[in-house]
Amino acid sequence: MLATTRFILKQNFSKVIVRRGIASRAPGRVAVVTGAATGIGRAIALQLANDGLDVSLNDLPAAEHKLREVSDLISQLGRKTCIYHGDVSVESDVQRLVDSTVQNLGSVDVMIANAGVCQLKPFAQTTVEEWDKIFRVNARGVFLCYKYGADQMVKQGRGGRIIGAASVAGKKGCAGFSAYGASKFAVRGLTQAIAQELACHGITVNAYAPGLIETDMYDSIKHVVAPGDPANAVDVSKPINAMGFNGSTEDVAGLVSYLTSYEARFITGQSIAIDGGFVFD
């Protein structure tokens, strides 16, 4: 009886070890980064290359030149890289992105679903077409990257990391960001649900939720005043967090670097704010 009990405990412990066996210290790990030509995606791609990962870069064809620049910088860091142009809201494009990464770099161990679009516009003035576009990229695009990234990781059988782009606007509704915020709330819910489904495969699923980060996207809205009573309007060009300054793309990349690490193996289902103290969970 005692021997049987020991055998069962040993078997169960072995299963736990397999489940924890996320290949985040293994050499030759490969990351996919969408929206990698500029801003946060660019910073993440360079950070992961600096961490020793090979990186598959994705963005729209219009970003060819900037994506090539990122690829050259990664090569200078001594890592392998490949480029796949495509739209994350198109299922076949995401499938081919994953297939191309495996063909050129050997695996997909980290999926960074970073690509996104933003719009600052009053709710009543937002068109259905604008709403649909934002959800196609920010919600459907993340879903597709999660889905096909997870499929490949499960097939490989050694765990992995899936990380999506949320936002503080997906933690706290903000005037003028109705469509954008709703799409980011969707990312949070998706991240929580999928984290529970993939844990048995040693795959963690998290999201980063930036506040005001100085990027091209931020530049496009920073001089727009939020709608409402002018006396209560907020100029988003001014820091509105506890720290009193806006973040950098490198700040976000540092968080993502940690989430891809072995040390983050016990974190899953979280959308982590990186906002200088704008929202408090």
Residue numbers annotated as active site: 180, 184
Q: Confirm if 145 and 94 have CB atoms less than 8 A apart.
A: yes
Q: Give the H/E segment covering residue 59.
A: strand 54-59
Q: Strand, helix or coil at 29? A: coil
CA distances from 164 to 69, 157, 239 (A): 23, 21, 24
Q: How far apart are CA 100 and CA 238, in angstroms?
A: 42
Instruction: Specify the DSSP class assigned to residue 81.
Output: E
Question: Considering only CA atoms, which of 254, 176, 268 is closest in space to residue 213?
Answer: 254
Going by C-beta distance under 8 Å and a sequence separation of 6 or more, which residues neighbour residue 49?
55, 73, 74, 77, 79, 81
Question: The tokens 């992961």 sit on which residue?
Answer: 48
Instruction: Specify the DSSP class assigned to residue 36.
Output: -
10 Å Cβ neighbour count for 253?
23
10 Å Cβ neighbour count for 189?
12
Q: Residues in the chain, how many?
A: 281
Residue type, 4: T
